[in-house]
Amino acid sequence: MKYIKKNDLPVGRKVWACAYSTNSKKEDMSLICNPVYGQIVKTRYSIGFVVFKKNNELRSLNSSVSVWAREYADTYEESFEIYNELVQKRIDWLNKMIEHTKSDFLKEENNV
């Protein structure tokens, strides 16, 4: 199951999470996270996501990220699919920007 609504994520649920988001103004400001396995946890102030260590123990709650910073699914395959959809969405946006930018070329008739 893919979790579209973050509010549907129950505390304690073990899920796969991923992210692919870039800032259009600064390419170095990006949030890219390949699918990782972890758990939804209650933090001091809100609900977060914590990745499992290699020994299947949770990392420290201090390493949690907001549930709003990731996309979630029950299986690796679903998370893999979500990640690729996010990448494709970015490619589509960039292609749209390329086409829009092409209209900025000066044409000979504009140079009169």
- The number of domains in the chain is 1
Pairing mode, strands 14-22 and 2-3: unpaired
Residue 68 has a pLDDT of 92
CA distance 85 to 94: 14
What are 22-61's pLDDT values in tens digits?
776 655 567 899 999 999 999 888 899 999 998 989 998 8
Q: Is residue 108 part of a domain?
A: no
CA distance 65 to 90: 22
Q: Is residue 11 part of a domain?
A: yes
Residue 62 has a pLDDT of 83
Q: 65 is in which domain, residue-wise?
A: 2-103
Q: Is residue 37 part of a domain?
A: yes
What are 52-105's pLDDT values in tens digits?
998 989 998 888 999 999 999 999 999 999 999 999 999 999 999 999 999 999
